[in-house]
Amino acid sequence: MRVAPSPFNEVKLDLGIILTVGVLLLLVQGRVVESLPLQFLLLLSYGLLGMFWIIVRVRRVVEKLDRQREQAGNEPR
């Protein structure tokens, strides 16, 4: 199985890992924490941290693409 080359492939992999761990956390959070508010807080904090990580990664990729585009535009032809 092959994936077409894309600058966002690493972000897609991160998202897949975050979602997989999130589903596993959802399945075991009832055994780890007994209090319902703490379970909600655990899942909410994991979701927010995952969202923050994906936003940071996408911004890095976009900035890298912008730099490459600027360098390609500045090169003499």
pLDDT at 75: 72
The rounded distance, in Å, linking the Cα atoms of 39 and 26 is 9
The burial class, CB within 10 Å (0-12 / 13-18 / 19+), for 16 is: exposed
Report d(CA 73, CA 60) in Å as an integer.
20
Closest CA to 30 of 38, 19, 20: 38
Look up residue 16 and give its amino acid: G
Residue 10 pLDDT: 92
pLDDT score recorded for residue 76 = 66
pLDDT tens-digit map of 16-59 = 999 999 999 999 998 989 999 999 999 999 999 999 999 999 99
Question: pTM score > 0.85 for this model?
Answer: no
Kindly state the average pLDDT of the residues 6-14.
93
